[in-house]
Amino acid sequence: MMIKKSLVVVSIVLTLILSFQSCKTDEITAVQTGSITALTCSSTTFSAAATSGASYTAIASVPYTGGNGVAYTAGTPVASSGVTGLTATLSAGTLATGSGTASFVITGTPATAGTASFPIDLGGQSCTLSLPVVASKANISTLICTVAPAVGTNGTAYTGTVTMAYTGGNGGTYDVSVASSTGVEGLTATLAAGTLANGAGNLVYTIAGTPTSAGTATFNLSLGGQSCTVTLAIAVGSTGTASAAKDTVVIAYSGTSAAINNPYQSSGVSVAVSGADVTVTSTNTTKEIVYLLSGTASKGSFKIYSEYKYNITLKGVSLTNSTGPAINSQSKKKGTINVLAGTSNTLIDGATYATSSEDQKGTFFSEGQLSFMGTGTLNVTGNSKHAIVADDYIEINDANIVVKSSLKDGIHANDYFLMNTGTVTVTSSSDGIVAEEGYVAINGGTINVNSVDDGITAPYEGTDATITPYVLIKGGKITVTTTGDKGNAIKSESYTTIGTADAITLTVSGKGSKGIKTGGDFTLTSGTIKITTTGAAYYVTADLDIAAPAGINCDKNLAIKGGNITVNSSGSGAKGISVDGTATISGGTTNITASGAKYTYSTTLTSEAKGFKSDGAFVMNSGELNIAATDDGLKSGTSITVNDGTINVTKSYEGMESIIITIAGGVTNLTASNDGINTSYGTVSGGTESNDNSQLTVSGGVLIVTGSDAIDSNGNFTLKGGTTIVNGNESVDINGNFLVNGGVLIAGGPNSNMTKSMGTASTQVSMFIKSSASIATSSLIHIEDASGKDLVTFKPRIATSIIHFSNPSLAKSAAYKIYFGGTYTGGSFLGNSSAWGLYNGGTYSNTGATLKSSPTTSGTATVNAISF
């Protein structure tokens, strides 16, 4: 009986306890669940307006009703749709009892104008949050950002600035731009609204806040279509300890092992360690986790699988992996590589890799995008394959990367290569920097490449029309040296455009090598480019053709609008600039020396050292072109037109050659050992006296020519204006019509049957003078009218006895005097650098001169033949 009573009592007690616990559990559950009856996205207010292409951080206040007064935790980031590039994150808070507002933090850079949409939820309710994004009115070309001071302290309020130096401003207005720090949180960079300068200027972001941990605070800043990434080092506070950044997994290598501190172990991040080989597998998709690598491992590596973008921070790490990559990212997401300031980091692979079903293409390999930042140094050696390689794009921002050697490419991106700031130095046994199926864009920084094959190249030759393999240089000091046969310092299969304030130095020494090789157009707007080629032309059996070196080789059209180019090609058969399409010079200074000998493979296959060769039309609108060449100075297969500017050919076999040549302005000064200026269809070898209808026309400007045949036209020669000064063994050799209808002409040479008189159809009065005695190069030819007015005073380059002269001042039925000798004082001299040419504006004295003739011009004919 006692036992039964005890059991009944125990049963009753247990029942009471369980009932109490059940009630308690229900009570706790009810208290922890927050709920609302409605969430109203349409009434949301934003703390700041959003502009396309500008960094944005703002609070979205979303009204709700029916709150039950319960606290709620922070939400996970929600990516925007429509306008991409933004995330919205619910801030932790407590619901009001009834109506209230919830705060969502929106950060990022809106990619376009339009509406950014976020599907949000709170307390069992959901709606779509819509943020209007206005189109930016501001546009800039280049951007360089500098933070000051560059160091803060954990737990201590920080105030500083980021100065954004830009070029190419369009004078447009911009709104407030805000960016929050990542890595180390707690800081905000803010740019007040304002107006860009037209051209260059500076913008200043103000950084304020209190760093929440030690480490590196990163700001991604965007404005006017350009972006930059700056870092701020946060030092340990005065307590001597630093709280670990809450998004950091710490990996410390030591010899043959690695120590791990993983705060995300229960949040989707696992870290496996085998000796000093570390493998990270992350399924976390809510946070850009930082993996901090430090220490040294002589047989170690870092591999990562990540379903979300990530950050690898290098803090004095040295990894050598003899069986594969030192760092191997199998993630297709973006990897930000932070090379900490003041640190030196080293990555080395082995000569052979262990067999793997995964890609492992180099010492630092990534399936996804790589973005380098920080101001420390990363040294990479590629013993087996590439040194740094990504199957997506590679971006360099303010890092010092040194590829000490590479068996294959130094830096190889499958998509594009973009560099904004920093320093890249590459030594490679193959190519230097490659964008395999994309483009190369360089906005700033310093690049030094020493390669065997191409230095910087976008080599895509596939059929995907969406890929444009161009090279675009907006800034940066670039030095490239290539040594292999057919190596190119800069190469693109599409267009190449350069517009920079910095210097570009290209040196190529291999046979058939080129400074710049572009499969499309070449455009230069600014910059100082120095190209040196020393390799020779050679016969390529596979091509059944000669590969000729060149400073610039352009398969389509070339346009020089500004800048300064110096090309020195010294190998046999080497060209200065070679263009398959049209060539236009509208500014800048271009200096070309092509000093090599002629290369001969066979009687039908040769390559001559030409200065500037264009298969299409050549047009000179302004600027300066200086050429010294073993063969032709300037040659076009179609036409040459000089509208303005200066062309100086100081050495050549033929100075200027084309089918049609028009001198309409500027100064053209040509020196040649054969033809100074030549028009010809080139259809007859060895010369002919028949008219091939090629055409030389001078309608303006100044043309100064000397050569064996100073002016040689297999077709016609027409003067309509300008000033033409000629002196050669045969001053004017014309097969077709020689018409003087305007302008000033003074031409001289020794007695020759090839020299022709002006045609009788000429409309301007002229003189064709033959002297039995030559005038020496130390003397003068002077013609004046009856009143003593100086019509021409000319100093010849060679002994002269045949003279062509025409001037708008010459008249019919007028008396003139022709002197040999005398002196000239004052005025100016228009002519060749070897001191022959035309004097004007001064005073002629006939003291010591010989009056050779006192002719009176014809009253009917325009051409006057004068002999003495």
pLDDT digits (tens, 9 = 90+) for 523-532: 999 999 999 9
**pLDDT bucket at 819, cuts 50 / 70 / 90:** very high
pLDDT digits (tens, 9 = 90+) for 394-410: 999 878 999 999 999 99
- Return d(Cα 274, Cα 82) in angstroms, integer: 45
Which run of H or E residues covers position 21? Answer: helix 2-32
Mean pLDDT of 330-337: 95
Distances (CA, A) of 664 to 200, 481, 613, 643: 36, 40, 21, 5
| 216: pLDDT strictly greater than 60 | yes
- Return d(Cα 548, Cα 268) in angstroms, integer: 59
CA-nearest of 665, 667, 668 to 656 is 668
What is the bridge-based pairing of β-strands 78-79 and 56-68?
unpaired
The label of the residue with tokens 């247990």 reads 14
Ramachandran area for residue 725 (φ above 0: left; ψ -120 to 50: alpha; else beta): beta
Contact 244, 213 (CB under 8 A): yes
Name the E strands within 652-715: 656-658, 660-671, 675-679, 695-713
Mean pLDDT of 338-351: 94
- Return d(Cα 271, Cα 290) in angstroms, integer: 13
What is the bridge-based pairing of β-strands 370-373 and 335-339?
parallel
pLDDT confidence of residue 231: 81
Q: Find the Cα–Cα–Cα–Cα dihedral 294, 298, 299, 302, rounded to 10°.
A: 20
At 660, which amino acid appears?
I
- Return d(Cα 530, Cα 796) in angstroms, integer: 36
Secondary structure class of 484 (helix, strand, coil): coil
Q: Is the dihedral of CA 838, 841, 845, 846 positive or negative?
A: positive
Sequence-distant (6+) residues with CB within 8 A of 792 are 744, 746, 781, 782, 783, 805, 807, 838
Secondary structure class of 9 (helix, strand, coil): helix
604-608, 740-744, 846-850: least confidently modelled range: 604-608
pLDDT confidence of residue 19: 44
Higher pLDDT, 235 or 457: 457
Secondary structure class of 17 (helix, strand, coil): helix
Calculate what percentage of the chain has a pLDDT beyond 90.
77
pLDDT confidence of residue 217: 82
Tell me the pTM: 0.76
pLDDT digits (tens, 9 = 90+) for 524-576: 999 999 999 999 999 998 888 999 999 999 999 999 999 999 999 999 999 99
| 724: pLDDT strictly greater than 60 | yes
Please, how many CA atoms are within 13 Å of residue 258, restricted to the half-sphere of its CB? 32
**pLDDT bucket at 247, cuts 50 / 70 / 90:** low
25-39, 319-333, 613-627: least confidently modelled range: 25-39
Contact 688, 735 (CB under 8 A): yes
- Return d(Cα 189, Cα 288) in angstroms, integer: 19
pLDDT confidence of residue 10: 40
- Return d(Cα 125, Cα 168) in angstroms, integer: 48
pLDDT confidence of residue 229: 82
Contact 11, 45 (CB under 8 A): no
Q: Find the Cα–Cα–Cα–Cα dihedral 800, 806, 807, 808, rounded to 10°.
A: 180
Q: Find the Cα–Cα–Cα–Cα dihedral 274, 278, 279, 283, rounded to 10°.
A: 130
**pLDDT bucket at 17, cuts 50 / 70 / 90:** very low
Q: Is the dihedral of CA 675, 681, 687, 691 positive or negative?
A: negative
pLDDT digits (tens, 9 = 90+) for 78-128: 989 999 989 999 988 899 999 999 999 999 889 899 999 999 999 999 999
CA-nearest of 547, 462, 542 to 513 is 547
Higher pLDDT, 730 or 20: 730
Which residues share a beta bridge with 446? Answer: 423, 477
- Return d(Cα 293, Cα 311) in angstroms, integer: 11
**pLDDT bucket at 211, cuts 50 / 70 / 90:** confident
Contact 439, 463 (CB under 8 A): no
pLDDT confidence of residue 799: 92
Which run of H or E residues covers position 166? Answer: strand 158-170
CA Rg value for the chain: 39
- Return d(Cα 506, Cα 454) in angstroms, integer: 11
pLDDT confidence of residue 144: 86
CA-nearest of 167, 175, 99, 165 to 133 is 175
Residue 274: count other Cβ atoms within 10 Å of its Cβ: 11
Alpha carbon distance, N-terminus to C-terminus of the chain:
164
What are the phi and psi torsion angles at 27 (to 5°)? Answer: -65, -45
What is the bridge-based pairing of β-strands 836-840 and 790-795?
antiparallel
Higher pLDDT, 822 or 5: 822
Distances (CA, A) of 584 to 565, 616, 649, 677: 14, 10, 17, 19
| 834: pLDDT strictly greater than 90 | no
**pLDDT bucket at 841, cuts 50 / 70 / 90:** very high
5-9, 120-124, 156-160, 505-509: least confidently modelled range: 5-9
430-439, 741-750, 832-841: least confidently modelled range: 832-841
Secondary structure class of 781 (helix, strand, coil): strand
At 640, which amino acid appears?
I
Contact 205, 123 (CB under 8 A): no
pLDDT confidence of residue 689: 64
Six token digits for residue 484 = 């292999």
Distances (CA, A) of 260 to 280, 282, 306, 343: 11, 15, 17, 20
Encode burial over 87-97: b for 16+ CB neighbours within 10 A, e otherwise. bbbbeebebbe
**pLDDT bucket at 25, cuts 50 / 70 / 90:** very low
Rounded to 5 degrees, what angle do the CA atoms 112, 117, 118 make? 130
At 288, which amino acid appears?
E
- Return d(Cα 705, Cα 609) in angstroms, integer: 21
**pLDDT bucket at 214, cuts 50 / 70 / 90:** confident
Mean pLDDT of 330-344: 94
- Return d(Cα 657, Cα 633) in angstroms, integer: 8
Mean pLDDT of 489-518: 96
- Return d(Cα 192, Cα 181) in angstroms, integer: 18
- Return d(Cα 384, Cα 378) in angstroms, integer: 18
